[in-house]
């Protein structure tokens, strides 16, 4: 009886909420002037071949209402705000519980439906899985050389250091086969760079060679998802594993990071593989040496896994102490301990140096900057449905695509149902393991600072997809596949259209400024004018030198000569390095106006670094201008005129000497 009361009260609370927010509803059906202007701007970003689709998505009022409704609905599930006060802390749990109770009462028990359990034979399953992999190939490798439309500084430094290892056996600073690469002072784990070396040898130093690795790892991730769902023993439907693999393959979060050329994607996929193999043996009361090796290996790929793996293993040890620490596993425990110890010797050595702790802000200052409230707020944000299915909370626009969530908004339904199913299965072995994965994955990200970074919680993708698979399994047990699949395919088709709109249409223009756009064009100017010398202002962007090194394919042996031999000997002590770099016919540093205007050279900077007034004052002559895809100037080159500037300064100098 009390459950019926909960359902009724939640409905009454919803009616009350709507009555108190009538403006919230009327605002959906009207378009502001700003929204109309935004429509026209977006229309102009579509390629001519997609003009008809642009009319459907951008120009129609119904489409805009859909996007507004989606955002406002997800605003209701903004967990940090939800638990900040007001009516929502009471309303949200009641609504969710009421929804689950209505679903249970309106639909028959799962045990009465066996149709979804045997939805296809082994051949049909393999064929569908192959089609998903082919779809993944298309999404991850299509126009990989041009999308993103420039290399980020992180990608460029990975590529150039791999090129340097290939040609000299040393990194850009002259350190032989380092255990951690001093990328902009961050000391990144080395394995991804070493994996990129054969790619560059086979395919040359280009964007595809660097980015393709992430795509290959993500394709393996599709298989891991499928295997996980099949072996967790939490679902009954064979189709649920296929649907989970598909959702993983096409999710915006996954697609975005499958197309970038640095270590974070490989790190979370290898970590996921380690958790998968560890589970396969753990479910039988044994330890997996392969799983432990993969987990250990992931700590040499990305910073997040370096901190996540010990947290995960300790939690698994406590949760499954009865299955792991018994007499039968003594020999395996000894072998596992020895293997982990040997495989972690490089990291144990690095822990004695400053290089290991350059990212120690991951755990922060417990007494000052990281409070319990701050940590819990970040955890709530990472699990917030609004952040997952609506607008991502990451303020770094380099990490996300425009106008799309990390997951598609309609997946919020199977996700919530999956959480409900996981709650009731929390005491099963598979349920416990999935909960450990789900709760430990965001911990390093939650300790990573004052801002949200979706890049630091990539290991969270796998358990979130597995939870969604539980929701699919529940729905398939209630609804026959013949009725379930048509709306699923329709929503999936719409999702792929929105993904194409976000990543392949809007992203190149709206995010180019965050991807160091323009330095490939700058490298071409340098190559075409070897007799001219350029000074590029890097006072506000000290990492852009890596892009020029990459595009120029500048000799690593020559670049290493500007660093003293002591740097290689003190490499892991995090020694200070001058932020200025000089190679080929270019120097990157801050512009010194007192000196540079009296040297015959070309000064390069963005419109903030060199204004039009400064150009007139110092007799600078514009020689070139590089624009972004939106036709906004991002780099401008000015030729100095030392003679005119000196002549203009001469009278004032004479007056100063006379004391006038």
Query: What's the pLDDT score for residue 28?
Result: 54
> Do 619 and 594 lie in a common domain?
yes
- What is the pLDDT confidence band of residue 375, given thresholds at 50, 70 and 90? confident
- Decide: 153 and 161 in contact? Cβ < 8 Å: no
Residue 393 lies in a domain: yes
> Reduced to 3 states, what is the DSSP secondary structure of residue 155?
helix
Which residue among 106, 128, 154 closes a domain? 106
> Do 13 and 53 lie in a common domain?
yes
Residue 149 lies in a domain: no
Residue 523: pLDDT above 90? yes
> Do 102 and 115 lie in a common domain?
no
Q: Where are the beta strands (DSSP E) in 230-309?
A: none
- State the average pLDDT over residues 91-106: 51
- Tens-place pLDDT, residues 434-476: 999 999 999 988 887 657 889 999 999 999 999 999 999 999 9
More confident residue, 185 or 525: 525
> Do 339 and 473 lie in a common domain?
yes
> Do 539 and 438 lie in a common domain?
no
Residue 321 lies in a domain: yes
> 518: which 2 tokens?
């323009």
Question: Cα 288 to chain center, whole Å?
Answer: 29
Query: What's the pLDDT score for residue 85?
Result: 47
> 491: which 2 tokens?
């929503």
- State the average pLDDT over residues 551-559: 97
More confident residue, 139 or 85: 139
> Do 446 and 494 lie in a common domain?
yes
Residue 384: pLDDT above 90? no
Closest by Cα among 340, 309, 301 to 180: 301
Query: What's the pLDDT score for residue 267?
Result: 97
> Do 470 and 550 lie in a common domain?
no
Lowest mean pLDDT among 51-60, 546-555, 573-582: 51-60
Query: What's the pLDDT score for residue 86?
Result: 46
Residue 601: pLDDT above 60? yes
- What is the pLDDT confidence band of residue 574, given thresholds at 50, 70 and 90? confident
More confident residue, 272 or 84: 272
- State the average pLDDT over residues 524-529: 96
Q: Widest CA span of the chain, in angstroms?
A: 104
Residue 184 lies in a domain: no
More confident residue, 275 or 541: 275
Query: What's the pLDDT score for residue 322?
Result: 86
Residue 130: pLDDT above 50? yes
Residue 117 lies in a domain: yes
- Decide: 172 and 560 in contact? Cβ < 8 Å: yes
Query: What's the pLDDT score for residue 636?
Result: 96
- State the average pLDDT over residues 8-18: 58
Query: What's the pLDDT score for residue 651?
Result: 62
- State the average pLDDT over residues 205-229: 96
Share of the chain above pLDDT 90, in %: 58
> 403: which 2 tokens?
């106008």
Which residue among 480, 513, 546 closes a domain? 513
Query: What's the pLDDT score for residue 635?
Result: 95
- State the average pLDDT over residues 573-589: 90
Residue 150 lies in a domain: no
| Distance (Å, whole) CA 464 – CA 438 | 7
Query: What's the pLDDT score for residue 25?
Result: 53
Query: What's the pLDDT score for residue 380?
Result: 83
Query: What's the pLDDT score for residue 543?
Result: 87
- State the average pLDDT over residues 230-245: 93
> Do 129 and 231 lie in a common domain?
yes
The whole model's pTM is what? Answer: 0.87
Residue 273: pLDDT above 90? yes
Q: Domain of 35?
A: 2-106
Residue 313 lies in a domain: yes
Query: ω into residue 148 within 30 of 0, thus cis?
Result: yes
Residue 114: pLDDT above 50? no
User: What domain count does the chain have?
Assistant: 3
Tell me the pairing of strands 581-583 and 586-589.
Answer: antiparallel
Which residue among 465, 487, 513 closes a domain? 513
Query: What's the pLDDT score for residue 429?
Result: 94
> Do 496 and 523 lie in a common domain?
no
> Do 470 and 549 lie in a common domain?
no
Mention every residue, 6+ apart, whose C-beta is less than 8 A from residue 291.
274, 275, 276, 277, 278, 279, 280, 281
- Decide: 16 and 94 in contact? Cβ < 8 Å: no
> Do 650 and 575 lie in a common domain?
yes
Residue 190 lies in a domain: no
| Distance (Å, whole) CA 448 – CA 466 | 25
> Do 420 and 439 lie in a common domain?
yes
**Average pLDDT of the chain, as a whole number:** 85
């Amino acid at each position: 009886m009390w459950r019926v009361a909960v359902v009724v009260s939640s409905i009454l609370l919803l009616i009350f909420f709507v009555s108190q927010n009538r403006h919230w509803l009327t605002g959906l059906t009207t378009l502001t002037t700003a929204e109309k202007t935004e429509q026209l701007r977006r229309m102009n970003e579509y390629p001519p071949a997609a003009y008809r689709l642009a009319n459907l998505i951008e120009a129609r009022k119904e489409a805009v209402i859909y996007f507004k409704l989606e955002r406002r609905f997800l605003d209701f599930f903004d967990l940090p705000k939800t638990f900040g006060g007001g009516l929502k802390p009471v309303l949200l749990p009641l609504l969710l519980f009421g929804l689950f109770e209505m679903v249970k009462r309106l639909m028959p028990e799962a045990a009465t439906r066996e149709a979804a359990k045997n939805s296809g034979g082994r051949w049909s399953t393999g064929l569908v899985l192959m089609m998903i992999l082919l779809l993944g190939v298309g999404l991850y490798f299509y126009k990989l050389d041009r999308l993103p439309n420039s290399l980020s500084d992180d990608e460029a430094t990975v590529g150039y250091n791999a090129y340097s290892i290939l040609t000299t056996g040393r990194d850009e600073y002259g350190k032989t086969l380092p255990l951690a690469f001093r990328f902009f002072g961050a000391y990144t784990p080395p394995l991804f760079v070493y994996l990129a070396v054969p790619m560059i040898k086979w395919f040359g130093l280009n964007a595809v060679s660097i980015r393709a690795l992430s795509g290959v790892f993500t394709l393996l991730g599709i298989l891991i998802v499928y295997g996980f769902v099949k072996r967790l023993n939490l679902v009954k439907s064979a189709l649920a594993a296929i649907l989970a693999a598909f959702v993983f393959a096409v999710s915006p979060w996954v697609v975005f990071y499958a197309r970038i050329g640095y270590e974070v994607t490989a790190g979370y996929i290898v970590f996921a593989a380690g958790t998968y193999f560890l589970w396969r043996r753990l479910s039988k009361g044994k330890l997996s040496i392969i799983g432990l090796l993969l987990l250990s290996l992931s700590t040499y790929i990305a910073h997040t896994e370096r901190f996540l793996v010990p947290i995960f293993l300790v939690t698994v040890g406590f949760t499954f102490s009865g299955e792991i620490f018994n007499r039968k596993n003594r020999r395996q425990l000894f072998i596992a301990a020895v293997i982990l110890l040997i495989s972690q010797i490089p990291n144990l050595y690095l822990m004695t140096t400053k290089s290991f702790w350059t990212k120690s802000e991951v755990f922060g200052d417990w007494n000052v900057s990281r409070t319990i409230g701050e940590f819990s707020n970040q955890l709530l944000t990472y699990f917030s449905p609004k952040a997952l299915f609506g607008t991502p909370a990451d303020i770094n626009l380099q990490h996300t695509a425009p106008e799309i969530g990390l997951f598609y908004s309609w997946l919020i339904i199977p996700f919530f149902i999956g959480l409900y199913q996981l709650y009731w299965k929390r005491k099963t072995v598979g349920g416990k393991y999935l909960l450990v994965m789900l709760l430990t994955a965001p911990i390093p990200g939650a300790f990573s600072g004052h801002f949200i970074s979706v890049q630091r919680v990539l290991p969270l993708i796998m358990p979130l997809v597995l939870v969604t698979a539980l929701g699919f399994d529940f729905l398939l047990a209630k609804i026959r596949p013949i009725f379930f699949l048509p709306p699923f395919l329709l929503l999936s088709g719409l999702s792929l259209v929105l993904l194409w709109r976000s990543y392949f249409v809007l992203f190149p223009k709206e995010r180019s400024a965050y991807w160091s756009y323009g330095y490939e064009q700058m490298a071409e100017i340098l190559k075409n004018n070897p007799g001219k010398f350029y000074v590029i202002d890097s006072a506000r962007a000290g990492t852009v030198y890596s892009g020029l090194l990459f595009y120029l394919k500048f000799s690593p042996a020559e670049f290493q000569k500007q660093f003293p031999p002591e740097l290689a000997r003190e490499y892991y002590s995090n020694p200070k390095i001058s932020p200025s770099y000089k190679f080929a016919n270019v120097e990157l540093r801050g512009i010194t106006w007192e000196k540079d205007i009296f040297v015959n050279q070309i000064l390069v900077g963005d419109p903030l670094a060199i204004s039009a007034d400064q150009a007139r004052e110092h007799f600078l002559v514009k020689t070139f201008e590089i624009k972004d895809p939106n036709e906004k100037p991002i780099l401008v080159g000015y030729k100095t005129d030392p003679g005119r500037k000196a002549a203009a300064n001469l009278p004032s100098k004479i007056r100063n000497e006379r004391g006038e």
